Amino acid sequence: MRNKVSVGEYLAFLSLKYEVDPDQLFHALCLAWENLKATCGGLHIQCRNKTQDKAVFLMTKDSKVVSQFPIPKEFLFEKANPIRTLQRAEMFGRRAVKKPETTYCFQIKDLRVGMKKISLTAKVLEIPKPTFVFTRFGNYASVANASVADETGTVKLCLWNEQIEAVSTGDMIQIENAHLSLFRGERQLRIGKNGKLSIVEKMDSAKLEN
């Protein structure tokens, strides 16, 4: 099971992701505690369900939900900004030297549930209409389980957000550093944040219509 992330670590991650100064973010949270809402860069923060000891904060950007999470009062009243301290640790971790991971080329017939670091080339057979889901990170996302195939078989490929728009039916794609899981009884390739999806050969729309 993945270790639980602290409030400070999560806020440090958001500060890096949305390029917001940690001091400004901390100040905006404190301001939202007092006035129920505040802005920080492009982020809008709203204090909800406030009690004496903690409050739930809703964070949005361009009218889209970024996250919703509880923060204890004692966190906001610390003398030193904990977000800045944890952000430095996060940045140091990103700069740490890591050994390159090896990915292995497979054919679809060789895939087994639980495999990781999968690399393969396949053709996109079908991309269903995307559905909107509310993720565990507190935001909405588009997801579509496409069907891809090579000469040995077919498998589902989970596509998220921009990935859905990037590929079309008939495209030949290269998948790198993916893993295979079981979802509702079906084998499903997931690319993940460390994986890569690229187009090897784009389907000619004129050929597709003919």
* Distance separating alpha carbons of residues 184 and 127, to the nearest angstrom: 18
The model's pTM = 0.48
Q: What is the pLDDT of residues 165-210, one digit of tens each?
A: 899 999 999 999 999 998 888 899 999 878 899 998 887 654 444 4
Please tell me the CATH code under which domain 104-209 is placed: 2.40.50.140
Describe the crossing of helices 82-95 and 22-35 by its angle, rounded to 10 degrees.
150
Structural domain boundaries in the chain: 7-95, 104-209
Q: What is the pLDDT of residues 40-76, one digit of tens each?
A: 888 999 998 889 889 999 999 888 888 888 999 988 8
